[in-house]
Amino acid sequence: MPLSVEEYQIAQMYMVMKMQQQNTSGREGVEVLENKSFEDDVFGKGQYTSKVYHLQSKVPTWLTTFAPADALIMKEEAWNAYPRCKTVIQCPYFTKFRLTIETVHKADNGLSENVHGLSKEQLAARQVEHIDIATLSTDYWSYMVGGGSGVDLSKFKSARTGRGPLLEGWQNKCNPVMTAYKLVTVDVPYWGFGYRLEQALLAGERALFLESNRNSFAWIDEWYGMTMQHIRELEQESDSLLNEVLMGPRWKGKGSEAKALADPMSKIVLQLQSSLIKSEAQGLLCGCSVLLGTEAQEADLLNRSCFGVPITTSEKSKQWFQLGMEEAFYLHYSLKCLMIVDENKHLMNDEQLWLYMKSKKETFPDFYKAYSHLRMKNWVVMSGVRYGVDFVAYRHHPALIHSEFAVLVLSPEEENGCWHGNSRLRTWSDIHCTTRLCGGVVKTLLVLNVSRNGDNAITPSCTEKFTVYEYTIARWLPERCREDHMVVKSKTSDSAVAEDGTDMQVPSKVLGTPPIEEG
């Protein structure tokens, strides 16, 4: 690098911050969990960071045959005791996988032989590769990692320092000059694809080293003159921004948001309601679900509004759907567009259907109240069983956007001496496990605490007396100061900070009508 060792520290921090911002969107990117100072006997004093990389689209296609793309999330821990650094990258899905990068920065032109102090055996196994930032690469990984400066360093000259261009042999002519010596150790002990994955990772790291260090020099006029205090302040702002962007709406591909804006969910549900009323639709009660046969138009509206699951049958004239109890009762009671008959073809009224569903599921009153609470705010609500929760909530159709909230339905009350809610989040270990899972799949844990206010829920009209309290629960980050948090309470939501630091808050618009519905 045509930089001093001291300059490179600032350049590297600026480069990491900027590249993270470039590669983070509502769907993928970098989530910063921790960023704090540390001191130990190995490195001395330095900065510790913990990050999660959600970069599923950059995963090679062949690897998705061994694991779903959503599972290929990388977790990074880094100890930066400049000029020495160590980074460890792991993947929770492949528990035996481990990638370690140890870096030593020296003020030389790259000719030092053994800066890491390797043994004779390690030196014999080591493969040395020189990376020249003045070169360009056009392989697969360079394309996937790219998107940085795009500057030809053989023609680039810094306006503020006068350094450059980097012509052939620049390493022996530039002053100052320094080298980042990186020792990469990868362990992928999996039969069948371990070696292929190992080679892909090494190629990816090489492309990342080249692109990131090219950017460090190409952006010199942006960072030159910054102090360590200034760069740390920018880093903290960037970390907060990254997490806000990553936890925002994650649209599936270009044009998805525009499609949703053009066809809001509230409009689709109104069309479905009108169509079902006009056709005098009847659902057949079958165990813990309702079967509904529809014509093509109604089938399309049910699919677009995300009610029920299509069932494949031999009947060509109708498309059948299986509705969950909360879905069916919402269409029957709240939207008043679906009649339901029992197995004897007898039409069921509101009270009969309510008592039947309550007999099948003790927590049905609470779950129905929670389901209708979200649906009335135009959130799409679907089963959350694959994520270990009760529901997941989407801003629009799952084909256009990923779900934002993993929802648990709780009740704080007892009925006849018995707890009628589910038993989730009764211990801190369950809270920690659930928040970790939600973080891993990029969802916010939303708890809907349904209070019956002493009502015994004999009829469906009782739900009008129920109160829903909304909480979002997130893992507390150690770099946050506890004194910075306030306890916030309102008529519809509560917020608190638990004694162990788990942060439970409700943003002012967390359960309002999705922004896409506004206007």
User: What does the DSSP 8-state code read for residue 306?
Assistant: T
Question: From residue 305, how far is each of 267, 436, 466 by CA, in Å?
Answer: 9, 30, 26
* Contact (CB, 8 A) for 477 and 448: no
* Contact (CB, 8 A) for 353 and 431: no
Active site includes 443? yes
Token pair 């509206």: residue: 301
Question: From residue 109, how far is each of 180, 181, 339, 504 by CA, in Å?
Answer: 10, 11, 80, 52
Q: How far apart are the first and last CA of the chain?
A: 53
> SS3 letters for 403-442?
CCEEEEEECCCEECCEECCCCCCCCHHHHHHHHHHHHHCC
Task: Name the catalytic one among 332, 368, 443, 469.
Answer: 443
Task: Name the catalytic one among 82, 330, 387, 394.
Answer: 394
Measured over the CA atoms of residue 436, residue 437, residue 439 and residue 440, the dihedral's sign is: positive
Among residues 100, 92, 96, the alpha carbon closest in space to that of 436 is found at 92
* Contact (CB, 8 A) for 374 and 389: no
Active site includes 402? yes
Helix axes of 350-360 and 364-375: crossing angle, nearest 10 degrees: 120
Task: Name the catalytic one among 332, 371, 402, 469.
Answer: 402
Active site includes 377? no
Catalytically annotated residues? 394, 402, 443
